[in-house]
Amino acid sequence: MSNHKNTVIVSLVIVIIVLVAFIGFQALRSNLIAQQQSIFNTGVQQGQLLEQRNILEGIIQTGSYTIPVIDENNETQQVILGIVQPQSS
């Protein structure tokens, strides 16, 4: 009888250890995913700021900035950004 109780206790302890390890692993995994998402978002923001800076520098240096775009017919078109002087009427 004592041997059966010990087997049940050891089995329950092993189940508890496995469940705690699983919960810990899930918490660690979600924390790593959140960190990766934060790093990704930071990189996207830095890339956007760099592109904005490049556009402004291009407009300042040459007076315009050309952006290639694809239209609805899958053909390449160009959008040209530049400084426009407002005309007084």
C-alpha span between 14 and 6 (Å, rounded):
12
Tens-place pLDDT, residues 69-84: 998 889 999 988 887 7
pLDDT tens readout for residues 23-55: 999 999 999 999 999 999 999 999 999 999 988
Residue type, 12: L
Say how many domains are in the chain.
Answer: 1
pLDDT of residue 59: 86
Report yes or no on 37 lying in a domain: yes
CB 81 within 8 A of CB 59: yes
Task: Give the pLDDT score at 12.
Answer: 94
Please check whether residue 16 lies inside any domain of the structure. yes
Q: Which domain holds residue 49?
A: 2-62
User: 39 in a domain, yes or no?
Assistant: yes
Residues 6+ apart with CB under 8 A from 69: 76, 77, 78, 79
Give the confidence band of 89 by pLDDT, cuts at 50, 70, 90.
low
Is 74 contained in some domain? no
Distance of alpha carbon 63 from alpha carbon 42, whole angstroms: 30
pLDDT at residue 20 in the model = 94
Q: Using CA of residue 36, residue 40, residue 43, residue 49, what is the dihedral sign?
A: negative
Q: Residue type for 22, please? A: F
